[in-house]
Amino acid sequence: MAHITYKHLNLHYTDQGAGDPIVLLHGFLEQKGMWKEIVAVFKKRYRVICLDLLGHGKTENLGYIHTMEDQAKMLKFLLDKLGISMCTLIGHSMGGYIALAFADLYRDCVTGLCLMNSTALADSTEKKINRDRGIAAVKQNHKTFIRVAIPSLFSDQNRSVFSDEIKEITKETLNMSQQGVIASLEGMKIRADRTHLLEQHDFPIMMIIGKKDPALDYNSLLEQAKSKDVESVIFEDGHMSHIENKLELIEALSKWLSSKKKT
């Protein structure tokens, strides 16, 4: 693990393997370690970059609102420092929002984009109201918010199947600051609709969709996946595909990355 100074904070990241660069972007209430089993497979063939996003893991807060553009600009800074001019982005949940923001800002730098349990839509009015409720709950007790939020990302039956993993994720996430949790909720609430990227793109796009994803609307994701030249892979479980459908996810990503190299 390494870190560099970005503005006034330490940005923590890992850089492993050799080959075409892949950037793995974790989601809300996660950190770069969520990718360890994915990295173990792909570092044999690719250069794999993981980072702790603003307010997550060991990377500190930049402010009181972390927009998706803020996160994307931090990623661009890191890639420039590492001498990487083009890369494939794989983003889980909020990481997908950041990948889309990066593609909007730096389209020529993107060679492929995978939205993993993520959406190109902006928050609906209802979702924004729920974000505000979440922010109120975080202000009251952010540790209670975390303890409730993590299990809710799994499909109903998997909350007992993966109880050990849920405990481990919760333990790690409890290290997040109240400010970091709120800043991401505020940033996600105001993010732009980026469905235009699904219709107008010159790089491969894949969507990983969970049938029982409690955080996203399944039918909405299916509609987005009908966009021009967007590949989709559907799993039977929830929002946490890297845990609930780990082997299938590795297989799907492997096939997509291999086919992308041939095009």
Q: Is the pTM of this model over 0.95?
A: yes
Band (pLDDT 50/70/90 cuts) for residue 260 is confident
pLDDT of residue 137: 98
With a cut of 70, say whether residue 263 has pLDDT above it. Answer: no
Q: What is the pLDDT of residues 80-112, one digit of tens each?
A: 999 999 999 999 999 999 999 999 999 999 999
- Residue spans of the domains in the chain: they are 2-262
Q: Kindly state the average pLDDT of the residues 53-81.
A: 98
Convert the pLDDT of each residue in 144-203 to its tens digit.
Answer: 999 999 999 999 999 999 999 999 999 999 999 999 999 999 999 999 999 999 999 999
Q: Is the pLDDT score of 262 beyond 70?
A: no
Per-residue pLDDT band for 143 (boundaries 50, 70, 90) equals very high
Q: What is d(CA 20, CA 142) in angstroms, rounded to the nearest whole number?
A: 39
b/e sequence 127-143, b meaning 16+ C-beta within 10 Å: eeeebeebbebbeeebe
Question: 4 CB contacts (<8 Å, ≥6 apart)?
Answer: 10, 11, 13, 78, 81
d(CA 164, CA 157): 14
Average pLDDT of 48-75?
Answer: 98
What does CATH list as the number for 2-262?
3.40.50.1820
**Predicted pLDDT at 61:** 97
d(CA 140, CA 82): 40
Judge whether residue 261 has pLDDT over 90.
no
- Residues 144, 146, 148, CA angle at the centre, nearest 5°? 70
